[in-house]
Structure formats: structure tokens, C-alpha cells
Amino acid sequence: MSAPYAVSAADPRTAGAGAPPGAADGPADGPARALLARLDGLRGRVAALVERRAAGDPTADDPLRGLYLSEEAVRHLLGTWAPLTGGGTESRPTGTGTGRAVDEEPVPGPDDRLARLAGRSGLTALDAAVLLVALAPDVDRAFEPLYGYLNDDVSRRRATVGLALDLCGVPAHSAAARARLHVRAPLAALGLLEVDEPERPFLTRSLRVPDRLVGHLLGDDTPDAALLALLRPMPEPLPSDTAAEQFTHRLAALLASGPTTVYLREQREGDGLAVYAEALRAAGLDGMCCDLRDEDVSGLLREARLSGRAVVVPALPERPGPLVRALAAAPDVTVLLAGSRPYDPYWCPEDPLVLDAPGRRDGGTAAWRAVLGADADGFDLATTVAPYRLGGDRVRRAARAARALAAFDGGPVTAAHVRRAARRQSASGLESHTRRIRPAVGWGDLVLPEGPLGQLRELALRARHRDRVLGDWRLSAGGGRGRGVLGLFAGESGTGKTLSAEVVAADLGLDLYVVQLSSVVDKYVGETEKNLERIFTEADRTDAVLLFDEADAVFGKRSEVKDAHDRYANMESSYLLQRLESFDGIALLTTNLRANIDAAFTRRLDLVVDFPFPDAGQRLALWRHGLAHVPSADGIDAAPLARDFELAGGSIRGAVVTAAYLAAGRGGEVTADDLLEGARREYRKAGRLVPGEGGW
């Protein structure tokens, strides 16, 4: 008798009759041995079904027999088919039925990954048996011609629905059995089995098992190649403050209790990922951190099921609804989401557990010390990192950058290296509406009376210790008020307001962002508020100092409503009042006309610093400071200039610059005449009478 299908132009008696993997390569170990033991049981059922089908084969005398697999070739296959696990007796076809697969499976061992997968994913015994039938040709090629024989088609060398049900001893008309292969049934829904060729009749549709699942069952834990570009390693946990530790322990207890879905809303990018890393470690679990798209969900969930790891998504896409729904639909997988947006109930019909991620406070000194180690012993680490609120792995990356900078400079790590590295990790989107200034000044560049100078130092002190005072000591005003630091610098033009803001930023080790009012104020109703909201939102998540120069343009007094313009102007002011209440960053306002600032704004400010016009002694100090690095003729005395020309600091600098250009033009040093000419020009620009015009 011959089987009714063509195999190849080769000798049909030897088709698929090669030695099985187990026999050729020696006994398998671990997960592979457990899977091969299951295939040994399947082999017996295949042999029995072949025997039953061949008993009535009418093609023994077919003249095209050379194109068919003969019964002798089939029996040769079965006769040389030794047990895959090595040793034992040959499996011979016995009886005429296939038996029931669920009754013949071996007792699961500790390395039986199929049994573990079935238990973890809620698969039935029939599901596991069908899965085994479908993957058999991917493990032992001798199954291919036999499946082709049983399918009556040489080209169909995989199991079909009908063949799988037959080998499992289940009637093809069983509605319950057929339902296990439905697209929403566990096998297909979990990405473990694919039922191909939907255009064919149900019983002749091919079954295919993903290569990743076959590899996993054989002991290969390499992630699916399609996911490698999406996965990134979970960051190593870093020490946190007491409040964050308590939150993490509660979260770890939840994760250890079973699969769950959590959404952490974070104030700073990376806060949620840092908390998840610490909680997973405390719970004794592993996580897969991935940058996910909607189309990658199925493969990722399958990988999570196979490896038993949690899915960690540190950043949601622009439209997170489809992604969140797809992930939440997997109740057997722990899904951990993080993002800066508030959770929207429309994202998913089943809400996850929504929590606020604790950020790193007081600069996260413990985390910095953990990553810097002995490199942090040469300077005051707590004071250096206090202004920064870096989340997640940013601290570790900043520490690596600081070491690289120190190595480049050929010395130990210093506070300056740490500040430079930390600023680089605080990426900002503020530059679309602001101008960034990298501070290059210090307290020595300020010439101010002790009163304003002390207030400026207090401002920097508040920025460093706001978490302790307002948080730990519970001195926040409540009502949703943020922990921002707000200051107003008032004084005439040129008295040092902008320079002082730059000095404060430099002392804190932060960049200064000057708001460009031309890109903020818009003639259309509501657009100004939108632009300001973008600035405040970005400033909240950036370690920087925000400067509103000439702030009375947007923080002016509200007026009596006489027309629509007054109404909308008042709406802008009201919005700013509310937004300042919840601001968490550092914002400085400067104005030449303090009286124009609305009293409601000044009440919300932490400090108001008045910059007086410099007296003669301060003007002399400003002249000398401006000339400190300028080549000057011997014997220059700036005292007459300081006495006779009442100039503010900005004007004095302008006069020195003018004198320097005059000297550079003739290739010499700055002289007293150059300085005098510079001072006179500043007076003329201001429209003032020049003292001693025509002689000095």
C-alpha cells in the first residue's frame, strides 16, 4: 500500500527517515529533555493513526507510485524512529486508535516548561496536547512526512486542526474542542498558537507555533529578535528617602501577590522607572523595560508569559488608549506603566491602580553618594546636588559624565564636574519660548549693599532646602501650592537685576532661561495663557531658573473692566496667579516699575529684592571691577568718574566697553580719556547733560 500524496523526486522510501535529534546528538538535558519526552508519547499516537489510515489504502498498485510515499517507506520511518530522549525501546504502532492525549502525557518534571506555561497561562490539558502536536515538526523533522501522509497532501507538512483533534482523541465535531482553537481562546489570544489559512475549511487549516515559543520550551531564553530593538535594561535601583522607601515596599508587596496593572504618574521623567526597578527587586521579580508601540503588544506579552517577567513601559505614546487597553487585557501578566499625564478613564474600561510616583527630594543625596562612592568625599555633596531633582537612571548617568569630565581635566571629581553633568541630564524644551544662558559669573561679580546681597543668598538657600522646610517640616501653605521659589527683583535699569539672577543660577549650578515675551504674548484670546502654561509645565520638570525680564508686561495690575480688552487682560493675570500657586520650579521676575506689579503677585512671592541706584562708593567699585581684566595705562584713577557721572552698573559696563574698543582700535591701552569718552556717551544715550562738556 502507498500513501496517497507525492513527496519529492527523491527515493520515497527514505523520505524523512533520518535519525532523530536525540539519537544523533546524544541525550538532551533540562527543558529540552522534558519536551522530547512528551514527543515520545506523541510518536506512538502518530504511529497508531498511520497504521489505521494505511490499513485501507487503495493505491498500492498505482502506476505513479514513485511520486508517492509507500507504506514500506512509512514503516521504515517508524522502524528507525528511536525514542528522542535516548535509550529505551522502539515505539511501534500498536492498536488501531490514537488513544487520548490527555491521559498519556508524562508526569511533569521540574524542567517541563510546557507544564509550567500551561499552569501560568490557564491552559487546559487539551490546549497543551494541541500545542505539542503543532510544534512537533519544529523539533523533529521526521514528523513532517508523516503529517503530510495523514493530511493526504505532500505540501501540508504541518499539523492541521483536524489532525490535531484526531491525535488528541477528540471528535472533529466537538464544539468545545473546536472552541479551544478560536481566535479568542487562550492558545491564539496569548500568542502561543497561530491558526493559518482562514480561507480553508476549518479542519484543514494549518497550525503553527512561533519559533520563540519552541525555543523557550527547549530551554532557550533569548528574547524574540523582533523585540530586541524595543527592550532596554532595567536600571539598577538607587537609594531613596524614607517616604519613597515606604511607598516602594508597599508596591513590592502588591507585585509579589500576583499579576496586576499599575500606572505611576511621575513629576519628573524617570521617577516611575526608578520606583519600579526598586519595587521589582524587593518583590524578587524581573522586568522588561520597553519602548512600546501598539503593534508590538502581542509579542511582548508572549515574551512576558514565557519568561515570567513584568512588562514595564516608562513612557506612553501620544495616544495611549489602544496600548493601555491591549496590555490591561492580559490578566496573567504584570504591567507597569509610567507617564507625566494624569490617567484618563477613557484609556481603558478596566482601570489600573493609579498612584503618584514619589520623586527624589533634597537632590537625592543618598543616590548620588551610592553612585559616586569615594569620588564624593572631596566636596560638599549635599549642597552641590540639592537643587537637582533628577529621576530614575539620570543620577547614574550624571555620575558617569562627572567622572569622564574629571578624567579629561586630569584631576579628581569636583562639585563643578557634578553640576555640569547634572545640567546636561536635565534636558529642557524651554528653548522654544526662552533664551538659555549658561551662567559664567559668581558672587564676586556683584557690587551691591549688604541688604540685597543677603536676600539673594537667602534665595539660593531656599532653593536648596525647600523640600525639607515645606515637605518634611510641613510648612507648605496647602491648597495645592507647589514648592517653587519665587523672587521679584525691582530697581532701575542697569542696577544688576538680570546679573543677579544669573549669579543665583550659577550658585545653584543651574541654567538660566530668560522668557522671551515676544514669543509668549499673543493677540488671540487664550493663546498667551497656553504659551505660559507650556513654559511653566516644562520648567516644573527641568532643573533650571526661569527669568521673566520686564515682568510687568505679563504680571501687571488688574484693572476695572471697561471693555473686552480689560476683561481678557484680567483673565491672563488671574491665570498667572493660579499657576504660580502650583509652580514647583524656581522663577525670578525683574521690573523697573515695582508699583505696576499686581499686589496679588507680590503676596505669593518668597522674596522681593530692591536694587538701589549705586552711590559713589559702589560706582567706584563697579568701575574697578569692569577694568579688572582690561589692559589699562598706569595711574588711571576712576574716582572722578564715579563722583561726577551718576551711572548704574549696566551703564558703567557700557562705558568700559566703549573705552576698550577705542583702545583696541589704536592698538594701545585704555586711558583716562577713553573712560571719560565712554562715560559721556552713556550720558548722551540717556539724554542727560554731560558734566564738564568741553573739558574735565
Instruction: Work out the mean pLDDT of the chain and round it to a whole number.
Output: 83
Residues 327, 331, 337: CA angle, nearest 5 degrees: 40
Asked whether the predicted pLDDT for residue 503 surpasses 60, the reply is yes
In this prediction, residues 529-545 reach a mean pLDDT of 87
Q: Sorting pLDDT into bands at 50, 70 and 90, what band is 282?
A: very high
Would you call 310 helix, strand, or coil by DSSP? strand
Q: Which amino acid does the sequence have at 407?
A: A
What ranges in 186-341 are assigned the alpha helix state H?
Answer: 186-189, 211-217, 242-256, 271-283, 297-307, 321-328
One domain, residues 195 and 141: yes
Instruction: Determine the average pLDDT of the residues in 660-689.
Output: 93
Number of domains in the chain: 5
Q: How far is CA 563 from CA 42, 371, 560, 568, 569, in A?
A: 87, 60, 9, 9, 10
For residues 33 and 75, membership in a common domain is answered with yes
Q: Could you list the residue range(s) of the whole structural domain that residue 372 is in?
A: 362-427
Average pLDDT over every residue of 296-323: 90
592-635 pLDDT per residue, tens:
888 888 787 888 889 999 999 999 999 999 999 999 999 999 98
Residue 690 lies in a domain: no
Q: What is the pLDDT of residue 576?
A: 80
Would you say 433 and 520 are in contact if contact means Cβ atoms under 8 Å apart?
yes
What is the structure's pLDDT at 93? 38
Per-residue pLDDT averaged across 235-259, rounded?
A: 88
Q: What is the C-alpha separation between 17 and 612, in angstroms, rounded?
A: 99
Q: Which residues contact 630 (CB under 8 A, 6 or more apart)?
A: 656, 659, 660, 663, 670
Residue 433 within a domain: no
Q: Do 48 and 190 belong to one domain?
A: yes
pLDDT at 414 over 70: yes
pLDDT at position 390 is: 84
Grid cell locating 677 = 569718552
Choose the most confident range, by mean pLDDT, from 19-23, 315-319, 345-349, 549-553.
Answer: 345-349
- The partner residues of 608 in beta bridges, in order of sequence, read 488
Are 483 and 569 contained in the same domain? yes
Q: Residue 660: inside a domain, yes or no? A: yes
Based on the domain organization, do 627 and 542 belong to the same domain? Answer: no
Give 15 or 130, the one with higher predicted confidence.
130
Contact between 85 and 40 (Cβ < 8 Å) = yes
- CATH assignment of the domain containing 333: 3.40.50.300
pLDDT at residue 247 greater than cutoff 80: yes
Q: Using 50, 70 and 90 to split pLDDT, how confident is the model at 454?
A: very high
Q: Confirm if 338 and 314 have CB atoms less than 8 A apart.
A: yes
Q: What is the mean pLDDT of residues 296-308?
A: 89
Residue 180 has pLDDT above 90, yes or no: yes
User: Quick one: 244 and 369 in the same domain?
Assistant: no
Question: Residue 696: inside a domain, yes or no?
Answer: no
> What is the full DSSP assignment across 470-487?
IIIT-----TT----EEE
324, 348 contact by CB (below 8 A): yes
Asked whether 360 and 389 are in contact (CB, 8 A), the reply is yes
Residue 461, C-alpha cell as written in the block: 538657600
Mean pLDDT of 121-140: 94
Choice between 482 and 620, residue whose per-residue pLDDT is larger:
620
Same domain, 490 and 636: no
358-371: pLDDT as tens digits: 876 656 788 899 99
Q: At which of 596, 611, 626 does a domain end?
A: 611
User: Residue 252 corresponds to which amino acid?
Assistant: A
Low-confidence winner among 49-58, 96-105, 410-419, 509-518 (lowest mean pLDDT): 96-105
Check residue 394 and give its pLDDT.
Answer: 86
Query: 237 or 411: whose pLDDT is higher?
Result: 411
Question: CA 549 to CA 514: how far, in whole Å?
Answer: 7
What distance in Å separates the CA atoms of residue 364 and residue 240, rounded to the nearest whole number? 7
Instruction: Band the pLDDT of 491: cuts 50, 70, 90.
Output: very high
Taking residues 15-36, report their average pLDDT: 59
**Are the C-beta atoms of 157 and 148 separated by less than 8 Å?**
yes
pLDDT of 224 above 70: yes
* DSSP notation for 177-191: HHHTTSTTSHHHHTT
Distance CA(301)–CA(318), nearest Å, equals 21
How high is the pLDDT of residue 304? 92
| Cα–Cα dist 611/492, whole Å | 7
Classified as helix, coil or strand, 385 is: helix
Q: Confirm if 580 and 569 have CB atoms less than 8 A apart.
A: no
Collapsed DSSP state (helix, strand, coil) of residue 327: helix
Asked if pLDDT for residue 25 goes beyond 70, the answer is: no
Most confident of 107-116, 589-598, 645-654: 645-654
392: left (phi over 0), alpha (psi -120 to 50) or beta: left
- The answer to whether 261 and 337 have CB atoms below 8 angstroms apart is yes
The CATH number of the domain where 633 resides is what?
1.10.8.60
552-576 pLDDT, tens digit per residue, is 777 766 555 455 455 555 666 777 8
Domain boundary among 199, 217, 235: 217
Do residues 563 and 671 both lie within one domain? no
CA 403 to centroid of chain Cα atoms: 24
Q: Picking from 250-264, 519-533, 601-615, 626-640, which range would have the lowest pLDDT averaged per residue?
A: 519-533
Q: What is the mean pLDDT of residues 319-346?
A: 91
pLDDT at 94 over 70: no
CA distance 406 to 410: 6
Residues 451 and 544 in one domain: yes
Q: Select from 328, 169, 359 the least CA-distant residue to 263.
A: 328
Which region among 114-128, 513-527, 672-686 has the lowest average model confidence (pLDDT)? 513-527
Does residue 464 lie in a domain region?
Answer: yes
State whether residue 336 is helix, strand or coil: strand
Burial class (CB in 10 A: 0-12, 13-18, 19+), 76: middle
Residues 35 and 99 grouped into a single domain: yes
Cell of 47: 504511529
> Which residue carries 546681597 as its cell?
453
Percent of the chain with pLDDT over 70: 83
The proportion of the chain whose per-residue pLDDT surpasses 90, expressed as a percent, equals: 48
Alpha carbon 87 to chain centroid distance?
A: 52
pLDDT reading at 638 higher than 90: yes
Contact of 433 with 535, CB cutoff 8 Å: yes
pLDDT at 530: 86
Q: Has residue 438 been placed in a domain?
A: no
Give the pLDDT of residue 167: 93
Q: Are residues 633 and 515 in the same domain?
A: no
Q: Assign 517 to helix, strand or coil.
A: helix
The mean per-residue pLDDT over the stretch 112-131 comes to 91
Q: For position 471, what pLDDT does the model report?
A: 79
Residue 72 is assigned to a structural domain of this protein: yes
Say what the pLDDT of residue 107 is: 61
Kindly state whether residues 567 and 679 are assigned to the same domain: no
Low-confidence winner among 582-586, 609-613, 639-643 (lowest mean pLDDT)? 582-586
Q: Of 611, 643, 663, at which residue does a domain stop? A: 611
Residue 257, SS3?
coil
Determine, yes or no, domain membership for 498. yes
Q: Hey, what's the torsion of the CAs at 147, 152, 153, 159, to 10 degrees?
A: -30
